[in-house]
Amino acid sequence: MPKGSNTPVPATALRVEMGWRPGPGVPDADASALLLAAGKVRSDGDFVFYNQPAHPSGAVRHEGKRTADGRVTDTLFVDLARVETTIERIVLAASADGGTFGQVPDLYVEVTDPATGQVAARFDNPGATVETAFVLGEFYRRQGGWKFRAVGQGYSSGLEGLATDFGITVDEPQHAEPPKGSTPAAVPPPPAAAPVPPPVTVPPPPSAPPAPSAQPVRLSKVTLTKAAPSVSLAKQGGTSGTMRVNLNWQVHKQLSGWGGRWGGGRGDLDLDLCALYELADGRKGVVQALGNAFGSLHRPPYIHLDGDDRTGAVSSGENLTINLDHKQDFRRILVFVTVYEGASSFADLHATVTLQPQHGAPIDFSLDECTVPSTVCALALITNTGGDLLVQREARYLVPERGVSPQRTIDHAYGWGMNWTPGRK
């Protein structure tokens, strides 16, 4: 689609994929959506992005990133049939993290019908240069149905500027920095967008808007990479309360690279999020579903496994909760994941780890592609460094020897020195 053009889309559940080609010097990017009534959000709840992944109505949710086939994609799910009648437009936006969109090659947004796989709309290469945020497209109501418009409107003020322009209250300034040695150029004002058609006349009684957020929206986040693999929790504001560790995943092929077959469908794959811990007084142990060792949040080990999930959905997945009010009681925590059943390795599995402190910026990272027959992966090592907790990205696939359990394998690799016995769940 050329910039400014529009096309009808089915008023049903749609997958909105923002994608680009990664490479050296290419910044990360994030997809977001704003649900608008009369050109503005009704409350901060109408903003869906990585820190606020689901709209209260259930009509829009952020499903997360994956890397496959030489590109990175960040996905939104939009169910137009569930959009409240007061919402006239859904703006589909992107923000660059650590650079400008001129450094992001082959940027596109694509709308597909997941039920049929048919592409309903696609907008490629919006002509970005120094912008740090972009409105790529929008859904809008037209004569009782919905249309998609290719917009291509840029912002030099990043996600904060884009969000505040539509009425979002942001808790702290977020200023994008230009690449070293360069001077940021002013972004020319975009051409006037085509008038938005009025909403359908005589609508049914409007739904109540989402409840106002208790606090302003927090935009800050930290993405760990091989080049920058660690971060201090204290520096990100994560000094108290709880911290949720979430693992979500997607399976993209039926056959693993090591001869194992995904068990007939995504629901048959069972991954277990676990944690080895060593407390300040020397006590050691494991939190895992195997053996029903779910831990405890308010007594040692101050780590609790929330449940056992088999879907990998970004809204649920596998979750551990760590009580940061007892950070002085921790010496080290190793968060890891095992394949319990449904596959012979992590091949063809694309997973994201998110650590969300109650009072700090979220920390996330993606796992690299698995190229070895691994059934256990060390995700993150959290170490007490004298009053602060340092989070270290591990993303390390390990290959158990024949007859050796994944737990013993990771224990040996990190020197925990525990005794292991067979267990069930």
Residue pLDDT, tens place only, 287-333: 999 888 999 999 999 999 986 554 444 445 789 999 999 999 999 99
Quote the mean pLDDT of the chain. 82
Per-residue confidence (pLDDT) for residue 380, from 0 to 100: 95
Decide which of 123 and 307 is more confident.
Answer: 123
Decide if pLDDT at 203 tops 60.
no
Q: Predicted confidence band at 407 (pLDDT cuts at 50, 70, 90)? A: very high
What value does the mean pLDDT take over residues 372-387?
92
Decide if pLDDT at 363 tops 60.
yes
Helix/strand/coil (H/E/C) assignment for every residue in the chain: CCCCCEEEECCCEEEEEEEECCCCCCCEEEEEEEEEECCECCCHHHEEECCECECCCCCEEEEEEEEECCEEEEEEEEEHHHCCCCCCEEEEEEEEECCCHHHCCCCEEEEEECCCCEEEEEEECCCCCCCCEEEEEEEEEECCEEEEEEEEEEECCHHHHHHHHCCCCECCCCCCCCCCCCCCCCCCCCCCCCCCCCCCCCCCCCCCCCCCCCCCECCCCEECCCCCCEEECHHHCCCCCEEEEEEEEEECCCECCCCCECCCCHHHCEEEEEEEEEECCCCEEEEECHHHECEECCCCCCEEECCCCCCCCCCCCEEEEEEHHHHHHEEEEEEEEEEEECCCCCCCEEEEEEEEECCCCCEEEECCCCCCCCCEEEEEEEEECCCCEEEEEEEEEECCCCCCCHHHHHHHHHCCCCCCCCCCC
Per-residue confidence (pLDDT) for residue 393, from 0 to 100: 93
Decide if pLDDT at 183 tops 90.
no
pTM of the model: 0.56
Per-residue confidence (pLDDT) for residue 252, from 0 to 100: 53
What value does the mean pLDDT take over residues 351-371?
86
Decide if pLDDT at 368 tops 80.
yes
Residue pLDDT, tens place only, 160-182: 888 889 998 876 543 333 334 43
Per-residue confidence (pLDDT) for residue 171, from 0 to 100: 66
